[in-house]
Amino acid sequence: MNHFRRYFLSAVIPFLLCSCGEGVSGRLEVLSGAVHWHNREWNDSTASFLKSADSPDENISDYALYGLALSYSSQNELTAAVDRFSSLLDSAPDKLRSAAWYQKGVCEYRMEKYQEAAASFRKSLEIEPSRTDAKINLELALAKNKAGKQETSSAEKNMTPENTRSGAGNAFFSFIRKKEETRWKKSGESTTHEPVPDY
What's the pLDDT tens digit per position in 95-121? 999 999 999 999 999 999 999 999 999
Range scoring the smallest mean pLDDT among 16-20, 71-75, 159-163: 159-163
For the stretch 137-188, pLDDT in tens is 999 999 988 887 776 655 545 543 344 445 556 676 777 777 777 777 776 6
Domain ranges of the chain: 1-82, 93-146
| pTM greater than the 0.95 cutoff | no
Pick the residue with more confidence: 192 or 110?
Answer: 110
Fold entry, domain 93-146: 1.25.40
User: What's the mean pLDDT when you consider all of the chain?
Assistant: 78
Distance CA 139, CA 147 (A): 12
Range of weakest confidence among 11-25, 58-72, 142-156: 11-25
Higher pLDDT, residue 169 or 43: 43
